[in-house]
Homo-oligomer: A and B are copies of this chain.
Amino acid sequence: MSHRGKEFLSIIQKAESDLRTLLNIPEEYAVLFLQGGATTQFAAIPLNITTPNDAVDYIITGSWSDKAYKEATKYCKPNVIWSGKSEKYTKIPGFDSLKTNQNTHAKYLHICANETIHGVEFKDYPTPINEKTVLVADMSSNFCSKPVDVSKFGIIYAGAQKNVGPSGVTIVIIKKDLIGNAQESTPVMLDYKIHAENNSLYNTPPCYGIYMCGLVFEDLLEQGGLVEVEKKNKKKAEILYDAIDSSNGFYRCPVEKSVRSLMNVPFTLAKPELEGEFVNIAAGEKMVQLKGHRSVGGMRASIYNAMPFAGVEKLVAFMKDFQAKHA
């Protein structure tokens, strides 16, 4: 099957169309299916929409926004206007306080909508003080977990592998008037203009991954769209955070309650020496991947769209049982 043949064209066009329906993407936005993960976009974004002397603003809420910021230093003049590092990335800044730090001439304001490792999630989005500054968001780990008002953003980008498909597909939703001014040194594969003009078919795309994303978009629409998906995600997260908060301190979630992620739930034990046992026994009961990221320790339950209620309920029952045995 050629990626230019009518069979695959119908697959990628249907995937784009269903994603546009799911997220209610306005006509003035392009949808691109790319490769290389969000990490490639960390470079592509400044390369496409800045010149080397342009100021841009970054809010650092965890590891991913920090990586995005560091990559941007190669291509323009990024400023950190807020960092949660000193509070171990457990907070999202208040938007009023941001206003005084924002650069009037910033080309964009970059956020990571959900920090996969630290479990902090933007529940609303800051508005740049200059209406010419566009909001750019890495939504890799909460893409399609809830409705989003795309019109508030200049660029939304996401690796597919959390909620919508296998790894190896990156989705970029970009306002069309931002396309076409890439820096001269931009690799052709990082130039949004090339991909927009070629409907993501400039070279052979990750066809199988895009096909799988399309199947997931169909399924999300059949579930009733992202309003219904968000209801399920909220309920799953509530069950788990309630179990943590009602454990009399046996379990602890370090993240500020109002910005806890619906996708990634980090927690620790009051007795850290029990954490290894917790992870091992859980794995024995087929609850795997519960160890926290090597950079933060503790545990982390990732409860993406595909995690059923039963999975969360089983974990909560296990947590109560574990506590009863060790309290």
Contact = CB atoms under 8 A, between A and B. Distances in A.
Interface in A144-164: 159, 161
A209 B208 CA distance: 9
Given A204-B159, A204-B161, A206-B206, A185 B75 contact: yes
A161 B209 CA distance: 13
A43 interface: yes
Contacts of A204: 37, 159, 161, 167
Nearest to A34: B36
A37 B5 contact: no
Contacts of A181: none
Contacts of A2: 289
By secondary structure, the A interface counts as loop
The count of identical subunits is 2
A203 to B, nearest CB: 5
A35 to B, nearest CB: 4
Contact of A208 (B47, B166, B203): B166
Given A37-B203, A39-B203, A208-B166, A187 B188 contact: no
Interface in A188-231: 188-190, 202-209
A320 interface: no
B289 A168 contact: no
A166 to B, nearest CB: 5
B35 A37 contact: yes
Contacts of A206: 35, 166-168, 206, 209
Contacts of A187: 40, 42-44, 47, 71, 74, 187, 190
B289 A189 contact: no
Contacts of A37: 35, 189, 203-204
Contacts of A188: 39, 42-43, 71
Nearest to A294: B4
Contact of A74 (B35, B184, B202): B184
Contacts of A208: 166-168, 208-209
16 contacts: A1-B289, A5-B288, A35-B168, A35-B206, A37-B203, A37-B204, A39-B203, A44-B187, A47-B187, A159-B204, A167-B204, A167-B207, A168-B169, A168-B208, A208-B209, A209-B209
